[in-house]
Structure 1
């Protein structure tokens, strides 16, 4: 074969091989040459143990497990204390988004702060992934195209706990509720579930945030004669309320306690003697599977405590976000969120989790009961599984939330 013909044949073959070969994975196009994650939560008050520095540790673990870099650049994690104040949280969020190059804000306990920050993220077209904040309004009327609610919400806590308790015969309720957005939403959703399940609400009383003395509120709930007293609060408020209920002998008097939101650090603080028999709903428990045990033990080595569901949710959400940036080839907020919705969530936190149009990450929830001292085999062996509730049953139906994005998607 003449040289020119051979050369042409080789060039043609090379071209065909190039066309047949798979394209190399595109490196992400980062808007400012880096990815910056920001954890915004309570570093110094009642939610500091359940979120706080532990959520930062969880985010850093996720970054390390992902590989530590994107587009060859280190992934940065920053954090700040919002002091449970919407104005403080809003100011920090604006500075992070406008001046500091933050791509995504994470965690945000205290529902009033989460709602305020979600509005800012929505206005600026930035990503917000809430793990610590609980109000179901985040995926309801105040939903955002770039907002994701990851770990739990007031609807799921109320639905799982309320229906199960009424089925157990605990069909008359009294509420001790935190007097702010989260408490109101939790109480509202729980009352709806109790009534839907055939129960009755005999009493509601609202206590100010960070209450030290629950005696008058507990006496009112006790005096209602309700079979079950539900605490629609969180953090230090829940711990104080349960401690004082124990001191008053409420459980010994025949009434049952249910914490609509309590974390493993709270139960550990209370002690199993005080907390035994308490019903609760959670999105995560460290001793549930080999994968959760591995994560829990790694986390404890760094933080000194087992992870709460909020902190586990931060880990999961960071890992999923980074995978989406890599898969999308960009850190553009709307593109990344679309990719996050497209990809299932499979990690130690969730199996086949999915993100809906309203921003709700749907995954299984778990009804737990605090073990008795005889049942527990160690310091952190605190819960026993009562029921696993599939995500589609645990979380509010998509059509019932009132999210405008759902209406727009239906048109």
Structure 2
């Protein structure tokens, strides 16, 4: 019986996995510069965490979660996003008690949503995300956005666009909510079943509907910006000022609402403008979620974060024809001739690797010509040639694969020689 990979998942094979590691390293290094520390949360959580934290009215909770009962009948869910888990850990482990706030976290890992697979969208997908929990300063909003933009730029993307909006505070949202209900209610029967449910649950989500996106009422819907109170206006103005001060250009889109219930104040998306990238242009999205810690049983601790898709980042790099500077070769390939030389090469190979050099030998009993071909296929920088005669004379011949130059080196100096010539 042949087994196939489940629909909506992918194997990331050698050759491609190096690209993933490259962009993940960029993300980690950027987080280090911004003083965000890694958090690793469970792949599955209690279902209620997501239903309360993400929101009952969201498509994620209503349609997309992988939920199952364990052997004791408890409802568990594979995590569909990273924020709820990070905030749960922040509360449970009392990170709010640390003297330095905000708590600045990042994560990289798989998420799971049952949705129709398409280009750049999978049922198991990988996200890099950050959370800054414990500050209501608009400067941290600008920092979070700047970090996301920095990752994309360091990876090599040029055709990206930042779109921001304010969802206001609780008072502003309540006023806007009533205005949306008044706007949509007389003709709500013209909308899809999901939107009809959202009218009372969370009418803001109607603006994010994919089925009814061309309906005339969406284009004439009241803007949240018209209902911002003075405090919310001042907050949003500060965020824009900070982004301008650090040289990050942006567009304000009053229809940007994001798909999760916990957002307030700042919301943002980063999109690809690359030609031919596809219909779904969003690379990353995030926003402020003041009140989420209290919703899941913690103290008041305002927060902001974002999540970006690793798959979509790589797809955007492909769309812009960006070649990542990945060194896929090895430092040294040891070619052997003779049984004694082969036996000795095993310990020599080990010593090279222990000194941090990438090295290989032949395991298929190939002749010398075949070993040289293998060294070429592995893109070896140096080829060390060791025969029984050389072994008896305590020497080894080292060939620079790029220049073709060959040097005779004493065996007891070989490791030192290789380290000196392959310093990174």
TM bucket normalised to smaller: under 0.3
* Structure number with higher relative contact order (C-alpha < 8 Å, ≥ 6 residues apart): 1
**Which protein is bigger by CA-based radius of gyration?**
2
TM-score norm. by structure 2 comes to 0.21
TM-score norm. by structure 1 comes to 0.22
